Structures are given as C-alpha cells and as structure tokens.
Amino acid sequence: MTHARTVEHAGPTVARMLLGAQLRRMRENAGITREEAGEVIRASGSKISRLELGRTGFKLRDVDDLLSLYGVHDDADRATSIALAQQANAPSWWRTYGDVVPTWFEPYLGMEQAARLIRCFDIQFVPSLLQTPDYARTVIRLALADAARTQVDPRLVLRMRRQEMLHRPDPPQLWAIIDESVLRRSIGGTEIMRGQIRHMIELCQLRHVTIQVLPFTAGGRPAGGGAVTLLRFAEENLPDVVYLEQLTSAVYLDKPAETLPYWKVFNSLAAEAQDPVTSIETMRARLNEL
Amino acid sequence: MTEPKIDSTISHSARIWNYWLGGKDNYPVDREMGDKILSYVPELVRSARADRYFLSRAVRYLVQEQGIRQFLDIGTGLPTVDNTHEVAQRIAPECRIVYVDNDPLVLVHARALLASSPEGACDYIDADLREPDQIVEKAAATLDFTKPIAIMMLGIMNFIVDADQAQTILGHILGAVPSGSYLSISHPTTEFDAEPAAVALEFWNSSGSAQMCLRSRAELLRFFEGTELVEPGVVSCPRWRPDLAEPGEIVDVMHFCGVARKP
C-alpha cells in the first residue's frame, strides 16, 4: 500500500493529516461541534480545528477521549487511530535543524516530503529542490543579509537534505514552472549560474522531474505576484495544499475554494509555458550564452 | 495576454472521467456534472474503473503475448495510474508510445507527467480523431509505420456519433498500419441499464459538452469488420481476459471492449 510508504518518508506529517481528517469525519458523523469536542479534552474549539487540519501533534489521551466522545467503541477502529497518533508524534528528521527552521516553515517541510506531486512556480530564484549547493548558498546569504555566517551552513545542509527525496526509490513528481527571468538573473556570477542551469538540465533526465520555462513572450500571468507551491497527496481524502512564502511568515491554503484558483493558474501557466522538451533547449541556449 | 487555453467553466469529459476514477484533476463543474450523471447511472464509476483495468490487461497482452512494441493511444485522457506507456515499458522498456488528444489540459499534463523510459520513447500530439491523416503524419515522427502498431481507442469512438464517419476514420487509421497491427476499442453501450443510460446520455448531450453516443454490441462488432477479433471477442470490460490472479465474481458494466488483429 502506498500509505505506509508515504508515511515512512513523510515523518509524522501525513499521519497527522490523516488522523485529523479521520477525527473530523467521526466528529461530524456524531453531530458534535468543535467546541463540545474541545471541552472534553480541556481545549478550545480552535485547538480542535488545528488538530483536525493536522497542524499539531496529538496527545494519546486526547485521541482516546475523542474516540469515546464520538462513539467509536470498536477495538480495531480505535487501534487504527491510536497507531496513527503514535506515528504522528514520531520525531521528524528535520528536528535536527530546529534552530534554522522557523515554526511557520516546519509544516511545509513535512508536507513537501509527503507529497505525491509538487507543482511550483518561481519568478526570481530556481526552486529550492532544484538548486545546486553554490546557488543555494548564494540565495541563503542574500536572505540572511545581516545574520551570522554560522547560520548559512545548517540551512544549506537542510536544503540539500530535502532534495534527497528526488532520488529515493518512490520519488514524488516535481513539476516546476520557472519564469525566463530565473535563467537570466545572475545569482552568484556566471560560473554558479552555468553550474545551476547544467544541473537543471540533468535533473530533467529524471522521469519524475519536469521543468517548463515561461518565456518573456508569454506575457504576464497573475499568480498572486510571487512564487507559489502546490502540494498534492496520494491519499484520496487529503486536500491539496497551497504554500505561499513571505519574508517572515507563510500562508497555507487547503480549502478547495481557496486552492482551486491556484490549480487553475498552474494549468494555464503550464499551457502557456514552453513544453518540457523545448524548455530544455531554452536552458541549453542560455548556457551557451553565458 | 493570450486567450485562456483551458476552459474551466464548461464540464469536460476527460475531467469528469478523472473524477469518476478518483483523481484530483477536476473542477467543481466537472464534479457537479459527474454526480448528476451518476444519479442516473450510478454504476458508471465501476464501469470507468473496469475500462482502465481493461487497458492494463490489453496492453500487457499485446506486449507480452503478441510482441507489440509500438502504441498509438488516441484519446489519452488525464494521466492516472498505469498509463499505457507505464504498463508497456514495465514489460519491455523499449516500447514507443504516441499519445493523442485534443484537450489542452490533457496535453499539458501528459507532456509533464508521462515521461518515457530512457530505452523507449513517448510523444504527445495535439490532434483530433476527425482528422486521422494528421494523427498518422504526426505519429510517424516517433512510430515506425512499417512495423506493427497497437491502436488504442478507449472511450473515444463514442464521440464520433455518425456511424459512417466512425467507419471512415477507423478505415484510415487501420489502413496506415501494417498487417499484424492491433486495434483495441472500448465504448459505452446500450447493453446495460439501457433506460437510465439513455436519460443520462440525453442530459449529457444537452449540457453543452461534446456530443456523444452509446452503441450496441452489434454496432461495435461492425467496427471490427475485416479484422480478426481476439478471444473472447466484444464483451463487457471485466470479461475480457480477466486476471486469474484476481479471482472474484465478474460483474458486467456498461463499457464493452474488444481487441483485434489486422490480418
């Protein structure tokens, strides 16, 4: 089953999201409000809301109490939920990088590792998962203008570690659309740019990596103005998540009404961008120019 | 700004199909339309799945038992699990596959997500079944038309409502491939729950989506005239060479299918 495989790579995130979705269905079936559920576990309705979205970990005792409240008495059903809760609390590998992972970024890390399909649109930088160490170091330094040098290395290591999922046996599909300006903006100088573009051309050889270049001639496209990432999960009952990163925080959208416009934008961007084969030629041409 | 190439305001067969198959590549209009049709013919979900399983079994049969290495898949649809090239290349990585569709959303997804094995090849062409000569011309860039080709036409002939036109199209495409090539067709029929199916069809055709039709088994047999039908002939999808590894009671569905060899 794809389930177990995903959970294993994903760390606790998918387990959390699945358990959250399960608890929400049980609560709704039982006709119980979030506030009522909150009282039973000595918490607020919004805490229940966060639990059901898989944003936080679960106390086993809380899950146990909620199951009783929702009228789930079958031993096997309860055991499944408790097992998910245990997985949901397992430490994730990125905990090691705790110092450099802001709290608003942590959910993204988990979901990215758990996704079946990652679609991203970037207008300024090469997407993190496609960056070379040299390019990534330059971008991280740019973002950390005033900070200590010592913060650069752990961030770089974390970014490279994230990329490992592209080489695991059951990799996610990465479908990136990059604006032509990404190929033209010089990050770190000619040598670093040459290495970066060569790296992207090589990654396109992987069956699960697709890069499409949106040429300047395609005109403008509103995508909220900046970079967008959409994550899709294999699990049928997990919704797509749109991730919008800002300078000091991030926005996560997962209501279908909110994510659908982004999905539409991704589809029209993909239709307007060069097809994957032409995009490789464009990258080669840029390489020759540099 | 260019005109939007993908229309998300009208429901679309490929996206409705994706919804019935449990995919996530569909818009609310598609789900609404899909649910409406299911309210007449609830078994369509089972039929859609049976049609996909037929594709897998047919491709396996063609590659494994008949040694076919080239596929022309017309009416690709949105990528799902076990797409034609994946099934074929899993057995013989050197297989070459050309996907044909006229839906921009399908093409964009197919080009991005249906990547070939390094030993084989996949191409994706934008063409309409009503212009079979164009399909053959464009496919010739990837396929060798002097060697046998398996033509896959799943759930596509139902969009050619006129029977004469359908025969002419099949004639053109079969005429372009050599002896030893294969034709696979699946098609929604009037053989199953005919009355609700007719109501659903009328609803579909009045909704502004591409016109389609149901055909009887006898009409499907006519599509295969001049070819040698492979056993068990034209049957409900789950009855076509079922997997012995997946025992269980066979339940008939609305989609019928057949595979035939060009003599």
Name the β-bridge partners of A228: A121
Q: What is the pLDDT of residue A6?
A: 39
| Predicted pLDDT of residue A3 | 38
Residue A157: predicted pLDDT: 92
The residue type found at B209 is S
Q: Which residues of A touch B24 (CB under 8 A)?
A: 232, 240
Q: How far is CA A21 from CA A55, A73, A140, in A?
A: 11, 18, 35
Q: Which H, E and C letters describe A112-155, residue by residue?
A: HHHCCEEEEEECCCCCHHHCCHHHHHHHHHHHCCCCCHHHHHHH
CA distances from A103 to A41, A107, A111 (A): 24, 8, 14
Tell me the C-alpha distance between B169 and A40, whole Å.
67
Angle between helices B13-20 and B44-60 (to 10 degrees): 90
Q: How far is CA A286 from the centre of its chain?
A: 29
Write down the pLDDT at residue A56. 80
Q: With contact defined as beta carbons under 8 Å apart, do A162 and A109 qualify?
A: yes
Torsion of CA B27, B31, B32, B37, to 10 degrees: 140
DSSP secondary structure of B36-93? HHHHH-TTHHHHHHHHHHHHHHHHHIIIIIT---EEEEES--S--SS-HHHHHHHH-T
| Residue of chain A with shortest Cα separation from B19 | A236
Q: Which CATH code for domain A3-88?
A: 1.10.260.40
Mean pLDDT by 10 residues, chain B (263 residues): 56 87 88 92 92 96 98 92 94 97 91 92 94 96 98 96 96 97 97 89 86 95 96 96 79 95 97
Q: How far A31 CA sits from the closest chain B CA (Å)?
A: 25
- Does the model's ipTM exceed the 0.85 cut? no
**Which residues in A lie closer than 8 A to residue B2 (C-beta atoms)?**
218-219, 272
Beta bridge partners of B189: B215
Residues of B at the A interface (Cβ-Cβ below 8 Å)?
A: 1-2, 4-6, 8, 22, 24, 27-28, 104-105, 108-109, 111-113, 115-118
- The distance of A175 to chain B (nearest Cα, Å) reads 7
B151: left (phi over 0), alpha (psi -120 to 50) or beta: beta
The tens digit of pLDDT for each residue in A42-96 reads 889 889 998 888 878 888 899 999 999 999 988 888 888 888 888 888 777 777 7
Place of tokens 């990837």: B142
pLDDT value at residue A217: 84
Domain with CATH 1.10.260.40 in chain A: 3-88
What is the rounded average pLDDT of the residues A156-176?
93
For chain A, give every residue range classified as CATH 3.30.870. 95-289
Least confident of A127-131, A236-240, B62-66: A236-240
Mutate to test the interface with A, among B89, B108, B117, B122 (most CBs of A within 10 A): B108
Average pLDDT value for residue range A164-173: 92
Q: Which residues contact A188 (CB under 8 A, 6 or more apart)?
A: A134, A135, A137, A138
Specify whether the CB–CB gap between A31 and A70 falls below 8 A: no
Residue B256 has φ and ψ, to the nearest 5°, of -105, 160
Q: What is the pLDDT of residue A221?
A: 63
Whether residues B2 and A236 touch (CB distance < 8 A) is answered with no
User: pLDDT at position A147, please?
Assistant: 60
Q: From the list B5, B24, B27, which residue is nearest A271 (CB)?
A: B5
Mutate to test the interface with A, among B2, B3, B8, B24 (most CBs of A within 10 A): B24
Q: What is the token pair recorded at A202? A: 């090589």
The topology (CATH level 3) of A95-289 is: Endonuclease; Chain A (3.30.870)
Distance CA B21, CA A232 (A): 16
